[in-house]
């Protein structure tokens, strides 16, 4: 259940970034953003949307690499938010919430992490000495 809520947060936060793209490209009047947007700004907001949605899809399908697009999305998102701070500052709260599981997923990649040790031990017992080939 918590995973579904987290996926929903990622998707909603990503879709909110569409407002910046819509304003920059003239797709819609977006009164919530008063800050002027260039096409480059709009591209950043749109790419952020796509990265967040890709991350959510990967997470929903059980991929352990969901954190990769999420990491890039968080950086772009925060840059976009800073560029329109007076209108978008509350997006930082969503970024911080999303950052915590991303950071945990990255820490989980360390060879000394419990998950890495478990995978190595299982692989060693099931595949012999060549257990890094997965």
What is the rounded average pLDDT for all residues in the chain? Answer: 88
How would you class 2 by CB atoms within 10 Å of its CB: exposed for 0-12, middle for 13-18, buried for 19 or more? exposed
**Residue 18 maps to a domain:** yes
- Is the pLDDT at 23 greater than 80, yes or no? yes
pLDDT for 15:
95
Rounded to whole angstroms, what are the CA distances from 9 to 2, 65, 99? 11, 18, 12
pLDDT for 123:
74
- Is the pLDDT at 7 greater than 60, yes or no? yes
**Residue 133 maps to a domain:** no
Rounded to whole angstroms, what are the CA distances from 72 to 51, 54, 98, 113, 132? 7, 11, 12, 23, 27
**Residue 134 maps to a domain:** no
Predicted confidence band of residue 103 (pLDDT cuts 50, 70, 90): very high
Name, in order, each residue with C-beta under 8 angstroms of 120's C-beta and a sequence gap of 6 or more.
Answer: 111, 131
Query: In angstroms, rounded to a whole number, what is the distance separating the alpha carbons of residues 34 and 24?
Result: 11
Domain count, the chain: 1
> Residue 28: which domain range?
2-127
pLDDT for 35:
84
- Return the HEC string of 89-107: CCHHHHHHHHHHHHHHHHH
pLDDT for 29:
86
**Residue 92 maps to a domain:** yes
- Is the pLDDT at 47 greater than 70, yes or no? yes
- Is the pLDDT at 113 greater than 80, yes or no? no
């Amino acid at each position: 259940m918590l995973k579904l809520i987290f996926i929903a947060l990622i998707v909603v936060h990503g879709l909110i970034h569409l407002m910046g793209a819509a304003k920059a490209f003239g797709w819609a009047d977006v009164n919530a953003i008063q800050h002027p947007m260039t096409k480059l700004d709009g591209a950043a907001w749109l790419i952020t949307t796509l990265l967040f949605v890709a991350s959510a899809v990967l997470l929903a399908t059980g991929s352990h690499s969901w954190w990769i697009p999420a990491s890039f999305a968080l950086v772009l998102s925060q840059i976009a938010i800073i560029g329109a701070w007076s209108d978008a500052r509350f997006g930082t709260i969503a970024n911080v919430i999303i950052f915590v599981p991303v950071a945990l997923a990255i820490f989980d990649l360390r060879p000394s992490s419990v998950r890495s040790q478990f995978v190595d031990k299982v692989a060693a017992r099931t595949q012999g000495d060549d257990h890094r080939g997965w």
